[in-house]
Amino acid sequence: MTLRLLAGLVAVTLVAACATLSEEECLEGNWREIGQRDGQAGRTASFLTEHAKACEKIGILPDQSLWEQGRQAGLSAYCTPPKAYDEGRSGRGLSPVCPAAQLPALQLAHGKGMAWHRLSNEINVLDREMSDLHTKVVKESDEEKRALYLANIRSLESIIRLLEMRRMTEGSF
């Protein structure tokens, strides 16, 4: 296989991997269902152009009306405080697709989720630091340095416990 042919295959694979829909989904054309999935994922109305690009190579045009009906139905599942909390807890932003009247409750839930996410990241960093200190304790022969490492470990354990308690207050919506 020549290098040029291999590069071509890789390029085709990458383009196919970037498509929002498979050829089969384009041909099936269940645009209401596709729109509903997109709404549940918090996709904006402009996302339909991505589907159009994915389907244009086989000559299929999305049904904008059916897709938008489905997307609107899906948004009712996305624009809820539990979903906003889950988005924040996963470290994702809240998509700007929800009605303005719902935003205060959604932003509050999203903020709690983001706080949980930040605290978890902080705990993970401290856990890794503590693990590094444990390794140093094992390898260190100087008793003063070992005592210092152990004191740092105890300090980190205390900080982690406090962060875990704070995270528990952000732990559910």
Regarding whether 172 and 98 lie in a shared domain, the answer is: yes
pTM above 0.85, yes or no: no
**Amino acid found at 105:** A
Domain final position from 78, 100, 119: 78
* The pLDDT value given to residue 8: 41
Q: Quickly count: other Cβ atoms within 10 Å of residue 138's Cβ.
A: 9
Q: For tokens 């503590």, what's the residue?
A: 130
Regarding whether 68 and 110 lie in a shared domain, the answer is: no
Regarding whether 136 and 158 lie in a shared domain, the answer is: yes
* The pLDDT value given to residue 171: 72
The CA-to-CA distance between both ends of the chain, in Å, stands at: 56
pLDDT along the chain (173 residues), means of 10: 42 48 91 96 95 92 96 96 96 96 97 96 98 96 96 97 93 70
| Residue 115 tokens, joined | 């706080």
Q: For tokens 């109305």, what's the residue?
A: 45
Regarding whether 59 and 144 lie in a shared domain, the answer is: no
Regarding whether 173 and 129 lie in a shared domain, the answer is: yes
Regarding whether 94 and 68 lie in a shared domain, the answer is: no
Regarding whether 49 and 97 lie in a shared domain, the answer is: no
Regarding whether 69 and 86 lie in a shared domain, the answer is: no
Domain final position from 57, 78, 99: 78
Domain final position from 54, 78, 102: 78
Regarding whether 87 and 112 lie in a shared domain, the answer is: yes
Q: Quickly count: other Cβ atoms within 10 Å of residue 150's Cβ.
A: 15
Domain that holds residue 3: 1-78
* The pLDDT value given to residue 12: 38
* The pLDDT value given to residue 7: 40
User: Number of folded domains in the chain?
Assistant: 2
* The pLDDT value given to residue 67: 96
Q: Quickly count: other Cβ atoms within 10 Å of residue 157's Cβ.
A: 13
Q: Which of 9, 18, 102 is nearest to 53 (CA)?
A: 18
